[in-house]
Chains A and B, each alone.
Chain A
Amino acid sequence: MGRHSGDAYDAPDEWRPEPWTEGAVREADRRPGHSPVTRRQLLGMLGVAGAAAACSAGVSVVANKAGDDAGSDGAAEGPPAKPIGLAAGIAGITAPTSDKASAKAYDKTGYRSAKPPGVAAQALLQRPTILSLDQDLHWARRLTYGISAPALRELKAAGRDAYLDKQLTVRPDPVVDAVSDRYPLLKMSTSQLKQLFDGNDEKPDDQKLDYMATEDQLVEMKIIRTVWSVNQLFEKVHDVWTAYVHVPIGDKTRLLTAAYDRDVVRKHAFGKFSDMLKAMIFHPAMLVYLDQPESNGNAKQKDGRPAINENLGRELLELFSVGALDPITGRPNYDGRLDVVQSAYALTGLTVDRDTLTMKFDPDMRYRGPLKVMTWRHPNTDPEQGVAVINSLISYLAHHPATARTVATAFARHFVSDTPRPQLIAKLAAEFTKAGTDIKPMLRALFASEDFRKSVGQKYRTGWEYLAATLRATQSQLDPNGTDAIAERQGTIQGVRDLRYQVEQAGGGPHGRGTPDGQPDFQAAWLSGKGMLDRWNQNSITAGGFWKGITVPDGVTLAGRPGNQAGLVANLGRQLTGQALQPGFVTAVHQSIGSPMTTPAGQVQDVPTVVRTVLSAPHLNYT
């Protein structure tokens, strides 16, 4: 497994990186018939074993085994291409699952097979993209979940630097606040929730609270924030942190994850990582998820081994701080056996009071003896002082330089590209360390970097990022009082529930990843035939305004009431993607409409399908 992980993107021969200014016609567009794929036989395409498509490394040429076609379109023969429809599968990378019920344990094979491509030494250049290289558009795309015309205007008016300053503070959020009353469970503490749900099973059916109501509200509110929050950068940073210190929703962590999200992740997302890690290690959600209450450092199993559970101790090192391997050098950061065991010993005593679902420290479960994890040492003489010892370890790990590099890699992978340069990682890690693990200076350095500037179009949107982008592009509004907005479930919004269902079908929604490594943040995990078809089909729902409780302006309004079809298509293109669509795409849209370009806008047939077609242009797949 992992054959493709780490492959750098090799620009194909006939596609040299060329400056792409808005309005410029691409060389390739000028050559008629330059279309390496159109001559393929249908079944032949499916049938040519192993040579059906370019490999995920982007080698352009498809070795066409059907003899009569070879060379007829002038495409040069290249190395044997690898099939790519299984890009997710070939690289041994799995699409994430929404796996609520299975947070009980996790299989190492499963999640370790979802390894992201590594940090790659490479030249600092802008790779080919169909997206406009305009930096305002790039910022609007990358720092939010997608360009929407009003948000773009705000950015252009303020200028990028001032916009970043504004986005680095959390502002009041009118749309979110307006609906937050419908999601009251998100404000409650774990003990309050426990009290609320105690005895819920005995209640008659019409008085029972839904078993997973808390988790449902958490996910739905995240979807709402993704699309409509004004604090877009905060929500994106929240995504990175959620994956970094991941606790999934599910049976095991029921009633715990909403409080975890609020008190650990959101509280410190724009603050210091050392504070976040400390809040994390003492939170009942993380303790329950990784079985810390089963870890008894002061007892032995039948075979004489200590009765500890290594899960939290291991993941603390592997996922939540230093990381198993250094992202730049690839060398192990710690001993996979000894340090993991010591880390587990260090955490013993942490447990959860099941009656109140709060953390409690039990000195009777604490390991007695000196501790050593990497270069950290502690005599650990007094079991009663275990919390202080844990604080010391957490502080060491949070400030460790390897942690800085791992955190920097996570953010670079999210905001720059799947394969960030080691120089960038090193620079961001240095900022992070200099600021005492405060994330904001690192973010500033990231957005100021040349790597970021030259990363236009290099990130492929995940399933729900794509859905969010299309909702933002169409300037959808949340209308919770719409007549069919509240269907089955009183209180929450039907359309948002449906969005959630849609994204979970598409391979994973917020908080859903069943394993502790968090949602994968690279193209190969999300690119699939099913995913593409899902995107095209949900665009028809979006364009038609069929999400209940979510209104979408009609196409003619979106396009600013143009005079004729040409204006309609051109303006829709610009509104929905932020840029002028290249001529080839525009022509394709006109052909799909069928009527001449001069047709008055009011006479264009089936405008929702026109909107759907423009939404389905490739541009919105990238950010």
Chain B
Amino acid sequence: MTKKQSLGEGPIPHEERPQGLHSGCECGDDSISFAEPFKRGFTRRRVLQGSTAFAAGLAVQPLMARYAFAAPAASPTQRVLINLCFRGGLDQHTWFPLLGNSKYAQLRPTIAETAQTAFPLSRGVAALNEFKDLHTTLGAAGFGYVPAADSQDRTHSHFEAMDLLEGGMNTPSSDGWAARALRLLPNPAVLSAVMVGGTLPKSLSGSSALTLDRIESFGLNGGDEVKAKSAAALQKFYTQYKDPVATTALETLNAIKTINTLSKSEYQPASPYPDTGLAQAFKTAAQLVKAKVGLRFVNIDMGGFDTHTNSKGQLHDHANEAAGALNAFFQDLGAELRPFVSLLTTTEFGRTAGENGGQGTDHGHAQGVMVLGGGSTGGVRGGDPIIGTSGPDNETKGTNDLRDVLTEGLTWLGVRNAASVFADHRFTPVGAFKK
């Protein structure tokens, strides 16, 4: 017997209700035991694209790094762009305090940074002392910062903002800006993107990204023997005939072999990495860069930046971790490879210039963007940030657009006509990246 498909309109009679769903029923049993209670921020986000990232931003901090490969040229060395994404909304006024602005200390009576905790960059912008070593490694010319880049988000919602960020900052789209950009690389990749972590970030969605947890564990699952036998069988299967499916399969198998070859030898970095998840992801990235397998684009997430309360301690810890990983990474690359690797940071939104009642800050609009490495022009770039005096949260108005910084980064990477990645936006140079 086919069960009834619909209960019709009107209130649902008691007999029709399943156990545990009698809320509002005439029997008066108000409990809903039917389904697991909604844990704020986790359950529903589990199945979203990039969901682990949201969880990262709000609670636990799983780390994800994603790598994109392109066909390696024999020479010259190809450029690599890294997007370090801070999930939660990085407070740029802690990491890069506007010490030169007279309002700064007034707006943050308890959590302001000072000349003792931060060193000057230029134009009234300072950087936390945690970044000093990194600054020395890169040099002033390799350490750049754009203080107020607007991301077009107006909702202050992590979801919407992250979606906007990854989609391309105009309107949420069905593919990501990184994916669109990778398609415009001159030697488009055999396998355009490889990523670490279980979920494809939206920025890379639309690219054929592979998952890469760690190099050692990438590929077919199963024990070593099973893996080898499975790979051999698949290789034979897909050489029995030829069509686009077979070709894709064979390329995938080759990519697996390549990456597994890398993992066989224990990687000896030129300089030691701290023992943090973020540093390990950068270590893997360095290994891939040095192996010259055609790495072009890397996406690494770092969570835990939604600092509504007691933000100072957390942000200093994060700065320590980030700076340590970045410093180890750029040192490991060495002077020979540093010119070819750039890094920029993104986050959903910046935070308010003024502190809230809980020694923290709330969601703002404009964000600060770090531009590090070979493609950076160094120094503080772009228009001045304007700290609003009106409005409940002392917004930092962006005088630059994040899309412009991204376009410059993609252009430096070698993406042709990078501005077309952000279709609804007219590119205005910021000067954060070299050509």
A60 touches B242 (CB 8 A): yes
The CB with the most chain B CB atoms within 10 A, among A36, A52, A60, is that of A52
Cβ contact of A54, chosen from B9, B234, B247, B261, cutoff 8 A: B247
Q: With an 8 A cutoff between CB atoms, is A245 at the interface?
A: no
Cβ contact of B7, chosen from A35, A45, A102, A187, cutoff 8 A: A187
A584: nearest chain-B partner, CB-CB: B240
Residue interface mask A261-278, B partner, CB < 8 A = 1: 011001000000000000
A residues near B423, Cβ cutoff 8 Å: 107-109
A residues near B12, Cβ cutoff 8 Å: 188, 192
B35 touches A101 (CB 8 A): no
Q: With an 8 A cutoff between CB atoms, is A532 at the interface?
A: yes
Interface-lining segment among B197-205, B322-330, B343-351, B362-370:
B197-205
Q: With an 8 A cutoff between CB atoms, is A207 at the interface?
A: yes
Q: With an 8 A cutoff between CB atoms, is A570 at the interface?
A: no
Given contact pairs A89-B182, A187-B5, A613-B233, A83 touches B23 in the complex (Cβ within 8 A): no
Q: With an 8 A cutoff between CB atoms, is A126 at the interface?
A: no
Q: With an 8 A cutoff between CB atoms, is B168 at the interface?
A: yes
A537 and B252 CA atoms in complex are apart in Å by 13
A565–chain B nearest beta-carbon distance, Å? 14
A52 and B244 CA atoms in complex are apart in Å by 12
A residues near B254, Cβ cutoff 8 Å: 40, 42, 45-46
A344–chain B nearest beta-carbon distance, Å? 19
Cβ contact of B258, chosen from A46, A128, A213, cutoff 8 A: A46
Cβ contact of B200, chosen from A108, A177, A505, A527, cutoff 8 A: A505
A58 touches B44 (CB 8 A): no
Interface-lining segment among A286-294, A401-409, A430-438, A483-491:
A483-491
Given contact pairs A89-B188, A490-B36, A532 touches B73 in the complex (Cβ within 8 A): no
B residues near A36, Cβ cutoff 8 Å: 242
Q: With an 8 A cutoff between CB atoms, is A96 at the interface?
A: yes
B174 touches A514 (CB 8 A): yes
A191 touches B9 (CB 8 A): yes
Cβ contact of B244, chosen from A54, A99, A189, cutoff 8 A: A54
Q: With an 8 A cutoff between CB atoms, is B424 at the interface?
A: yes
The CB with the most chain B CB atoms within 10 A, among A50, A87, A99, is that of A99
Query: Chain B's interface: helix, strand, loop or mixed, by majority?
Result: loop
Within 8 A of A (CB), among B66-90: 69, 71-74
Given contact pairs A88-B206, A102-B167, A505-B200, A49 touches B71 in the complex (Cβ within 8 A): yes
A residues near B20, Cβ cutoff 8 Å: 490-491
A247–chain B nearest beta-carbon distance, Å? 15
B174 touches A513 (CB 8 A): yes
Within 8 A of B (CB), among A32-62: 35-38, 40, 42-43, 45-50, 52-54, 56, 58, 60
A60 and B46 CA atoms in complex are apart in Å by 42
A213 and B33 CA atoms in complex are apart in Å by 13
A582 and B238 CA atoms in complex are apart in Å by 12
Contact residue range for chain A?
35 or more
Residue interface mask B2-34, A partner, CB < 8 A = 1: 111111111110001110110110000011111
A212 and B41 CA atoms in complex are apart in Å by 12
A residues near B294, Cβ cutoff 8 Å: 46-47
Q: With an 8 A cutoff between CB atoms, is B208 at the interface?
A: yes
Residue interface mask A192-206, B partner, CB < 8 A = 1: 100110001001011
B208 touches A530 (CB 8 A): yes
B245 touches A460 (CB 8 A): yes
A15 and B23 CA atoms in complex are apart in Å by 65
B167 touches A110 (CB 8 A): yes
A1 and B8 CA atoms in complex are apart in Å by 48
B11 touches A192 (CB 8 A): yes
Given contact pairs A107-B423, A613-B233, A203 touches B32 in the complex (Cβ within 8 A): yes
Given contact pairs A38-B239, A88-B206, A105-B172, A489 touches B36 in the complex (Cβ within 8 A): yes
Within 8 A of A (CB), among B223-280: 226, 229-230, 232-252, 254-258, 261
A157 and B18 CA atoms in complex are apart in Å by 40
B421: nearest chain-A partner, CB-CB: A109
Q: With an 8 A cutoff between CB atoms, is A164 at the interface?
A: no
The CB with the most chain A CB atoms within 10 A, among B38, B39, B293, is that of B38
A588: nearest chain-B partner, CB-CB: B236
A110 and B192 CA atoms in complex are apart in Å by 19
A233 and B255 CA atoms in complex are apart in Å by 38
The CB with the most chain B CB atoms within 10 A, among A98, A514, A533, is that of A533
A54: nearest chain-B partner, CB-CB: B247
Q: With an 8 A cutoff between CB atoms, is B190 at the interface?
A: yes
Q: With an 8 A cutoff between CB atoms, is A208 at the interface?
A: yes
A588 and B232 CA atoms in complex are apart in Å by 8
A206: nearest chain-B partner, CB-CB: B37
B427–chain A nearest beta-carbon distance, Å? 15
Q: With an 8 A cutoff between CB atoms, is A132 at the interface?
A: no
**Subset of 30 A-B contacts with CB under 8 Å:** A29-B240, A46-B72, A53-B190, A56-B244, A58-B242, A94-B179, A97-B202, A98-B47, A101-B163, A107-B424, A109-B423, A113-B175, A177-B1, A180-B3, A188-B12, A208-B37, A209-B32, A211-B44, A212-B44, A213-B34, A460-B245, A505-B200, A515-B173, A515-B174, A529-B210, A529-B252, A540-B222, A609-B226, A618-B240, A618-B246
| 18 more A-B residue pairs beyond the given contacts A213-B35, A530-B208, with a C-beta to C-beta distance below 8 A | A37-B239, A37-B250, A49-B187, A53-B190, A53-B247, A98-B48, A110-B173, A110-B174, A111-B173, A187-B16, A210-B37, A262-B5, A489-B36, A490-B34, A501-B46, A515-B173, A529-B208, A529-B251
Chain A residues proximal to chain B, CB less than 8 Å? 1, 12, 15, 26, 28-29, 35-38, 40, 42-43, 45-50, 52-54, 56, 58, 60, 83-90, 92, 94-102, 104-111, 113-114, 128, 130, 172-173, 177, 180-181, 184, 187-189, 191-192, 195-196, 200, 203, 205-213, 251, 262-263, 266, 460, 488-492, 500-501, 504-505, 507, 513-515, 523, 527-533, 536-537, 540, 582, 584-585, 587-589, 591-594, 606, 609, 612-613, 616-618, 621-622
